[in-house]
Amino acid sequence: MVAFQFFLVLLAAFPSGTWAVPATQSIASRAVSVSTPLGPAQGVLGVDGVNRFAVRYATSTRWAPSTIVTEWELPNGSDDPTAFPLQCPQIRVDPSTYSEDCLSMLIYVPVDFTVDSNVPTLVWIHGGSFDSGNATGPGLDGSQLAVATNSIVAVIQYRLGALGLLVPDGSTNLAVKDTINALTFLQTVLPSFGGDASMITLAGQSSGASMIRTLLATPSASSLFRNAILQSDPFDYGFLTLETQAILQSAFNDLVYCSASDTACQMALTLDEILSAQTTVEDESVDLDPSTGQGSPLRPVRDGQLVTTPLDSTAPFPAVSKPLLLSNVKDEAGPTVYQLLFPGPDPVDASLFEPVCDVSLGPNRTQIVMDSPFYPVDPNGDARVPLQTLATDYLWKCAAWTFARTWVANGGNAFVGLYTLGATYPPNVVNTTFCLETGSVCHRDDIYIVFGTTPNPTPAQIALTAEMQARYRMFMSTGNPNAPALEPWKAATTSNVYAKELGVKTTSNGLAPVGACIPSFWGEAVQYDYQFYDI
């Protein structure tokens, strides 16, 4: 089923990476050790004056809740502190790079920190539609970010896909519980590295941002972090309902031929069998239940116990207080439209705009879109142009702005931004040149900018990285991204989100054009999916 609400999953395997070692310096001479309540933390001095520690934060057997470790352990039973953790099982990667023993994180600590430093910590949660990604993905080396923000940076992993979100006995949200355990682990060890455990900021991109939204809807996790940065969260997708989760779970159990109670059968399954069944469920999810959407059909569930609120307009919004920073990129849907739907250099006939909309939105919502002035279709133009704008608004940008207004209305502060400059992320060059075109900023093109890991950056990219890292540094400490010598960034209100352009200034006031992102259109005239399916 073709639908532009399909998230681009990673289309190629990325190696875990290597740690550059100067030829004149041995591994032994770069080894570092820090005393923690869980025992000595063994790490390695990186080339940027930052110590890197790889650690297993929790353990678990298959489809069981994870348990926080009681002793400091290197990942995967390793005795090499320079080794990177194996990623969690997922498709499209070399099986030798993953393991079910994947509940690990990487902690980056500038060398001049002491136990008395009391610095904040940024915890990064990777994206990947809840079925791919890892802590060692392209650009996720936290060394430069840690130095620039004068903070500790931790990049975490959690169980993905069926292993984290399709438990045969019907249990829900194992992946969310893994993330909570990672944060609880950090509460214990951060003071040993100079971190203030009360000053944790969560940051993540795409499904990583969705995981943070899940934690915002989880009262038991509230005390584990103070601020949150959500980059490119597909707010249009709500949490799954218990009813939808049960449908997906039943389909998965049927595919693996294991009943809900047959643990012996479940434990005997190979990872290939589990991943194959997971892929089938994801591919058929919209036919099983249209509310799943094809972009991220396996995702956290509002179970009423751990995740207690949808955090949207389908139920009363709780009182909130945490400061949020919400950002999008200008062309979020570029990979979806130009890679998945219509790859290749040739324009797409304008007549296809309406039927593609109809597949994703249905006839009623499509007609409202067609009658509006927001997505004009040039009869002689390329249908991908308005489709990309529409999909960006629908899934990401306008949905984020709606969330910001609601967050503010219920007591929180929110700062909204739009990246008008980025750095092309590796998967965005597959099957298209769109994301390489001057001015394009595609989904994930903000990652290199934030981490300061852009290969061969231009002066403009260097400047934007410096700006964003300065803003993140202030936000982590104060809950406000305004920093000395930088242009003011106004907080959102219930009527105007004041979305700041980040990078190239396209308007005289430096604010992103509102376009269709007005309360009377998206979220009212045209419902988001979470409204349309009442989830």
Residue for token pair 């057997």: 61
Say how far apart CA 470 and CA 463 lie, in whole Å.
11
Say how far apart CA 503 and CA 461 lie, in whole Å.
8
Backbone dihedral angles phi then psi of residue 205, each to the nearest 5 degrees: -125, 140
Say how far apart CA 93 and CA 11 lie, in whole Å.
9
- 202: helix, coil or strand? strand
Q: What is the DSSP letter of 511?
A: B
Say how far apart CA 395 and CA 7 lie, in whole Å.
10
Of 157, 182, 231, 234, the closest CA to residue 451 belongs to 231
Q: How many residues does the chain have?
A: 535
Of 422, 210, 440, the closest CA to residue 311 belongs to 210
- Contact at 8 Å (CB) between 6 and 294? yes
- For residue 247, the tally of other CB atoms under 10 A from its CB is 17
CA atoms within 13 Å, Cβ hemisphere of 163: 31
CA atoms within 13 Å, Cβ hemisphere of 499: 26
Q: Concatenated DSSP letters for 87-155?
A: BPP-TTS-GGGB-S---EEEEEEETT--TT--EEEEEEE--STTTS--TTSTT---HHHHHHHTSEEEE
- For residue 381, the tally of other CB atoms under 10 A from its CB is 15
- Contact at 8 Å (CB) between 193 and 116? no
Helix and strand numbers (H, E) in the chain are: 15, 12
- 261: helix, coil or strand? coil
Residues annotated as catalytic are 206
Say how far apart CA 214 and CA 290 lie, in whole Å.
21
Furthest-apart CA pair in the chain: how many Å? 68
